[in-house]
Structure 1
Amino acid sequence: MNYKKYQKMYHPIPLEDRQWPNNEITHAPIWCSVDLRDGNQALYSPMTTEEKIEFFKFLVKLGFKEIEVGFPAASHTEFEFVRRLIDENLIPDDVTIQVLTQAREHIIKKTVEALKGAKNAIIHLYNSTSTLQREVVFRKSKEEIKQLAVDGAKLVMSLVDGQLDGNIRFEYSPESFTCTEPDYAAEVTNAVLDVFKPSETNKVIVNLPSTIEVATANVYADQIEYMCKHLNNREHLVISVHAHNDRGTGVASSELALLAGADRVEGTIFGNGERTGNTDVITVALNMFCQGIDPELHLENIDEIIEVYEKYNRLPINPRHPYAGEMAYVAFSGSHQDAIKKSMDKFGSSPSNKWANPYLTIDPTDIGRKYEPILINSQSGKGGVSYIMENKYGYTLPKPMLAEFSSLITDMSDEKKTVLTNHEIHQAFKDTYVNVAEPIKTRFYRSTEEDDCTILSATIEKGGKVTSIEGKGNGPLDALCNGLRQFLGQQFEICNYTEHALTRSSNSRAATYIEINDHNHHKTYWGAGVDANINTASIYALISAVNRMLADN
């Protein structure tokens, strides 16, 4: 790893007598959701207009009063979405929409056009100011970059005065702020503020984005405090932060920025965004909540938030998410379980009692969850089953197979009306999926290569009758599939295949998982094979899946 090729991308912070380390967060900031812009543009499949409308309504339900709804000049879909919000009167009177525009004439004009008729809106103007962007991307001098920002601000002001009647506020971002010389960032921003003319009744938002994280969170805090001390008319400004998560410290950067004087946080629920994501607003808000601070967002039903997020973003929640993860309130260690139980027995979950627990920073019931140790019953989820199968027995099940098996375990536990032991769970997996030998059983197989083709001959037993079959394919599994299809008169194909060693030792057995698609009945079936030989394990997995298909039909 050639670490010497890397260098610091941030500039020294000329900050003396820093104050932020002595400060505390005492109240919630102004929240601005950027899910519909930063979040949406980072999705494999961006939301449709209808989906964005539904997601916007949900963000309003969560309590966001400022919501960035898009970049109207970017596409017809973006423009149409903003227009529909306005034309169909979908924006509550106490909610302000925010739109993003580069400091470029045609983009600014399209953006202002999109806002006609809006009651409350923020025009978020930005241009990149960092050394690298100036020299490599734009090839402009400092003065030229500053003039670009000033000209953009002037055009915004003139168009708003001539075309918009609503309560229009202004926001400016020196994009790539974290990589910009601090004095120059302040110089450009002050030049823009001279145009926007902030006042007591017309506060301007100055957004200082960690467009890319290039330093520890304390450096970002220094940058924010420096700007707070060097911006004109600080009392008439709303200092906003927009932290990305390139170093995995987006939440910490936002929190330390609040200590350093920021008033506002832009982010997304669960941190979706470009590259490694944006600040996770849910985490920042609940971090405040567990310190006795009202987050001023409605987070009492975390499962509903997850459901909506996953529906429209088509992204999973990390099982180890601090508050929303399915494992967040599960303790694996017996000592942890014991300490948590004793604390709950003493303090309980009564609203009249102060929460105190050695391992849980928050009462799960406050966000619609419950504490669940690793005991598998009819209420257990995939996480517990996955943990037991992997950590106790070495099986790492593919997600679709895990979902199917977890459902089976739930039914078993429901029928027994009690928890299942680890042994019972393991035995149920083996009985259902592993080396299933009924109604057909492989007694012998041999494969040979001929003319870039694999020929597999196998002796199988079905109903007490031994039969020889043969198939050709691009490998042993494909050849066996062809032979079985002809023998059984069934149309199926392999649609999923994974394998791994059950232990890390040199003599470990292999575990193979195969899913087949039964074309005759439009269903899929999983099988697992375990053997010291990986090829044999794969054959067993295929036969197991076929046997499950035959048993079902």
Structure 2
Amino acid sequence: MISNPAEKYRRLPVVDLPDRQWPSRTIDRPPVWLATDLRDGNQALFEPMNRDRKMRLFRELVRIGFKEIEVGFPATSQIDFDVVRELIEDGHVPADVTPMVMTQIREDLIARTVESLRGAPRAIVHLYNATAPVWRKVVFGMSVPQVMQLVERHVLYLKRLTDAAPQTQWILQYSPETFCMTELEVALEACNTAIRAWDAGPQRPVIVNLPTTVEVTTANVFADQIEWMHRHLERRAHVVLSVHPHNDRGTGVASAEQALMAGAERIEGCLFGNGERSGNVDLVTLALNLYTHGVHPGLDFSEIASIARIAEECTSVPIHPRHPYVGDLVFTAFSGSHQDAIKKGFAAQAEDGPWQVPYLPIDPKDLGRTYDSIVRVNSQSGKGGIASLLERDHGVVMPRRMQVEFSAIVQKAADASEAEVSGSMLWALFEQTYLAPAVDPEGSLVYRGHRLFDDPAGQGIELDLVIDARPCRVRGVGTGPLEATVHALGTTLRVDSFEERSLGQGAEASALAIVEMAMRGVNGTRFGVGRNVNTLTALVQAVISAVARLKAESSGTAAVRTGRMPACL
């Protein structure tokens, strides 16, 4: 890169519009949408779509709800010409959908274009020519008056051809290509020349389309340009003001939104912004931005994953996993703080209330997505996300201190694997950590059964265990089963908390018991979990699970000799 880019790159002038109105406006209705996937998007492909893929994508655009669809460049592509003829002759175009075709302003190309549309009830013919200074001087060698003569001659030629085919309702669309780099007075003269030549009026609508053929300014400057044109166009009541933003600076969506605020009524773009160079405006993002502000776009994206797969298959262009609203990971949080906020947001979200879930600007279910992949676990995840997955997938609600304990275990596993921890891996870790210690045949403290008995001092219990591979029975008495179980296992144990929850409903529901315990000589506490259809059995297993984990932190079989574990009967 050069040290002083100002020596090489010329800044375009800003628009002199001190009384601009667009910054104070809001978008309260959707624009007219035109999908250019079959033309602009198709031109940008390594391998342009064949007839079958074009037809499939056309049907999908109709299903989504587009009422204007650019179906190709029939004057320069035989496939496009054949597709246009098939759409018309075989009745694939619904009565409320208008096809559009594009051509440069050259008489032979215009004639071929009109021929492709023969028999269509309604059609838009899109004429364009470049108007910016560098194109006028370097590419075409034309003066401004010569450019205006070119526009007038070819619009009049189109008018003669279309007047000779009155069975079709013809609409002219004129684009001063490279509008955003053209002097506003020159762009206005070109558009007004086309409007006059077409004789725009109540029965002769015209679309004036203003493209950022190569995006070269910030979005606010483009909005100024659109508002200036909106104020100065002739026969404005009979003109639909359209924009076709590209994305060379990465602000195609912003340019489109601000253009709508500045007076544009129609937007051209592709579903996922697939156009030349950096692409054009992404219609899915633009439409769903409106939706999240309470404005229905009039397009149906309720099965967004299906739309994405069809677009990928037709274009062979993959959609980025972080693509707004659509990407496979766009509703996924790995960050611990994000996961915690999302979990709390879902808990607080009222079913019939306004959507207010942190980090999720739209309800994924509105797009046909589930909540299954919102929280996922890797080495960056925190206790909130882990807890959320266990609660969602298995109904396990962990106390907060247990979340802290288990998240450290998960983090260690994630660091070791250097990969995402799947839901099944997470559950396997939970089982291995909390459920296996009490029942694993290879464990150092294993539960085999229990028997309650009455005792003058309270509730008695006899535990059938395996301690360090030796069968063992121990007894304890307490004010209830929990205290009796703890007393049976040793005098150095302490219960800090205990919770019981139900997993599932009906006859097959099981009980989940969670206990937090401490053992003299072991720093901190450990949690234990028991799961059984019998509530008491789950309780006993939870205590044994916690003690087995504490025992693993102590000195093994020496714990029995020092009194930390009981002697067998």
- TM-score by length of structure 1 reads 0.69
- Report 1:438-457 matches (<5 A): none
After TM superposition, give the deviation of residue 334 of structure 1 in Å. 1.4
After TM superposition, give the deviation of residue 318 of structure 1 in Å. 1.0
After TM superposition, give the deviation of residue 9 of structure 1 in Å. 5.5
> Which of 4, 7, 15 is 1:13 aligned to?
15
Which residue identity is paired with 2:306? E
After TM superposition, give the deviation of residue 264 of structure 1 in Å. 0.2
8 Å CA contact 2:14–2:221 kept in 1: the answer is no
Question: Once structures 1 and 2 are overlaid, which stretch shifts more, 23-32 or 164-173?
Answer: 164-173
Residue number in structure 1 paired with 2:427? 418
After TM superposition, give the deviation of residue 8 of structure 1 in Å. 3.5
Return the alpha-carbon distance in structure 1 between the equivalents of residues 416 and 297 of structure 2. Answer: 42
Q: Give the direction of change, closer, same or farther, for the CA distance of 1:347–1:82 in structure 2 (3 Å limit).
A: same
2:275 corresponds to 1:273: yes
2:211 corresponds to 1:209: yes
* SS of residue in 2 equivalent to 1:269: coil
Return the alpha-carbon distance in structure 1 between the equivalents of residues 429 and 136 of structure 2. Answer: 63
Q: CA RMSD in A?
A: 2.5
Residue number in structure 2 paired with 1:60? 62
2:230 corresponds to 1:221: no
2:88 corresponds to 1:86: yes
Residue number in structure 2 paired with 1:100? 102
2:6 corresponds to 1:4: yes
Q: Give the direction of change, closer, same or farther, for the CA distance of 1:146–1:394 in structure 2 (3 Å limit).
A: farther
After TM superposition, give the deviation of residue 392 of structure 1 in Å. 4.8
8 Å CA contact 2:34–2:269 kept in 1: the answer is yes
Residue number in structure 2 paired with 1:431? none
Which residue identity is paired with 2:286? V
Return the alpha-carbon distance in structure 1 between the equivalents of residues 15 and 258 of structure 2. Answer: 15
Return the alpha-carbon distance in structure 2 between the equivalents of residues 113 and 392 of structure 1. Answer: 65
* SS of residue in 1 equivalent to 2:337: helix
> Which of 30, 37, 41 is 2:32 aligned to?
30
Which residue identity is paired with 1:213? E
Residue number in structure 1 paired with 2:185? 183
* SS of residue in 1 equivalent to 2:427: coil
For residues 62-118 of structure 1, give each alpha carbon's deviation from its aligned partner in whole angstroms, at most 9, with x where no partner exists: 000000001111121111111111111110000000000111111101001111001
Residue number in structure 2 paired with 1:312? 314
Return the alpha-carbon distance in structure 2 between the equivalents of residues 10 and 234 of structure 1. Answer: 27
After TM superposition, give the deviation of residue 323 of structure 1 in Å. 0.3
8 Å CA contact 1:9–1:179 kept in 2: the answer is no
> Which of 126, 129, 132 is 2:128 aligned to?
126
Return the alpha-carbon distance in structure 2 between the equivalents of residues 40 and 52 of structure 1. Answer: 9
8 Å CA contact 2:215–2:246 kept in 1: the answer is yes
Which residue identity is paired with 1:182? L
Q: Give the direction of change, closer, same or farther, for the CA distance of 1:171–1:338 in structure 2 (3 Å limit).
A: same
Return the alpha-carbon distance in structure 2 between the equivalents of residues 394 and 253 of structure 1. Answer: 44
After TM superposition, give the deviation of residue 418 of structure 1 in Å. 3.0
Return the alpha-carbon distance in structure 2 between the equivalents of residues 90 and 111 of structure 1. Answer: 19
Residue number in structure 1 paired with 2:249? 247
8 Å CA contact 1:329–1:364 kept in 2: the answer is yes
After TM superposition, give the deviation of residue 120 of structure 1 in Å. 1.4
Q: Give the greater-gyration-radius structure (CA).
A: 2
Q: Between Structure 1 and Structure 2, how many residues are aligned?
A: 399
Which residue identity is paired with 1:10? L
Residue number in structure 2 paired with 1:368? 368
Q: Give the direction of change, closer, same or farther, for the CA distance of 1:339–1:88 in structure 2 (3 Å limit).
A: same
Q: Give the direction of change, closer, same or farther, for the CA distance of 1:392–1:69 in structure 2 (3 Å limit).
A: farther
8 Å CA contact 1:32–1:264 kept in 2: the answer is yes
After TM superposition, give the deviation of residue 335 of structure 1 in Å. 1.5
- Report 1:494-533 matches (<5 A): none
After TM superposition, give the deviation of residue 37 of structure 1 in Å. 0.2
For residues 325-374 of structure 1, give each alpha carbon's deviation from its aligned partner in whole angstroms, at most 9, with x where no partner exists: 111111122121111111211114x3x21111221110111101134112
- Name stretches of at least 5 consecutive residues in structure 1 with no aligned partner: 381-387, 397-405, 425-553
After TM superposition, give the deviation of residue 417 of structure 1 in Å. 8.9
For residues 489-529 of structure 1, give each alpha carbon's deviation from its aligned partner in whole angstroms, at most 9, with x where no partner exists: xxxxxxxxxxxxxxxxxxxxxxxxxxxxxxxxxxxxxxxxx
- Report 1:123-522 matches (<5 A): 123-348=125-350, 350=351, 352-371=352-371, 372-375=374-377, 392=415, 418=427
8 Å CA contact 1:211–1:243 kept in 2: the answer is yes
Which residue identity is paired with 2:24? N
Return the alpha-carbon distance in structure 1 between the equivalents of residues 197 and 259 of structure 2. Answer: 26
After TM superposition, give the deviation of residue 393 of structure 1 in Å. 6.6
8 Å CA contact 1:11–1:182 kept in 2: the answer is no
Which residue identity is paired with 2:141? R
Runs of 4+ residues deviating >4 angstroms: 376-380, 391-396
Sequence identity of aligned pairs in percent? 45
Return the alpha-carbon distance in structure 2 between the equivalents of residues 132 and 347 of structure 1. Answer: 56
Residue number in structure 2 paired with 1:440? none
Return the alpha-carbon distance in structure 2 between the equivalents of residues 128 and 32 of structure 1. Answer: 21
Return the alpha-carbon distance in structure 1 between the equivalents of residues 19 and 52 of structure 2. Answer: 51
Return the alpha-carbon distance in structure 2 between the equivalents of residues 198 and 357 of structure 1. Answer: 49
Return the alpha-carbon distance in structure 2 between the equivalents of residues 254 and 265 of structure 1. Answer: 7
Question: Once structures 1 and 2 are overlaid, which stretch shifts more, 6-15 or 102-111?
Answer: 6-15
After TM superposition, give the deviation of residue 11 of structure 1 in Å. 3.9
- Report 1:109-124 matches (<5 A): 109-124=111-126
Which residue identity is paired with 2:180? T
Which residue identity is paired with 2:363? D
8 Å CA contact 1:115–1:164 kept in 2: the answer is no
8 Å CA contact 1:10–1:178 kept in 2: the answer is no
After TM superposition, give the deviation of residue 375 of structure 1 in Å. 3.2
8 Å CA contact 1:25–1:259 kept in 2: the answer is yes
For residues 6-55 of structure 1, give each alpha carbon's deviation from its aligned partner in whole angstroms, at most 9, with x where no partner exists: 33363442323000000000010000000000000101111101111111
Return the alpha-carbon distance in structure 2 between the equivalents of residues 366 and 66 of structure 1. Answer: 24
8 Å CA contact 1:37–1:69 kept in 2: the answer is yes
Return the alpha-carbon distance in structure 2 between the equivalents of residues 268 and 153 of structure 1. Answer: 27
Q: Give the direction of change, closer, same or farther, for the CA distance of 1:5–1:420 in structure 2 (3 Å limit).
A: farther
Which residue identity is paired with 2:310? V
Residue number in structure 2 paired with 1:468? none
* SS of residue in 2 equivalent to 1:240: strand
Which residue identity is paired with 1:367? L
8 Å CA contact 1:343–1:358 kept in 2: the answer is yes
* SS of residue in 2 equivalent to 1:52: helix
8 Å CA contact 2:245–2:252 kept in 1: the answer is yes
Q: Give the direction of change, closer, same or farther, for the CA distance of 1:126–1:420 in structure 2 (3 Å limit).
A: farther
Which residue identity is paired with 2:232? H
Return the alpha-carbon distance in structure 2 between the equivalents of residues 102 and 124 of structure 1. Answer: 8
Return the alpha-carbon distance in structure 1 between the equivalents of residues 82 and 154 of structure 2. Answer: 23
Return the alpha-carbon distance in structure 2 between the equivalents of residues 33 and 145 of structure 1. Answer: 29
Question: Once structures 1 and 2 are overlaid, which stretch shifts more, 4-13 or 158-167?
Answer: 4-13
Return the alpha-carbon distance in structure 2 between the equivalents of residues 166 and 289 of structure 1. Answer: 35
Q: Give the direction of change, closer, same or farther, for the CA distance of 1:335–1:57 in structure 2 (3 Å limit).
A: same
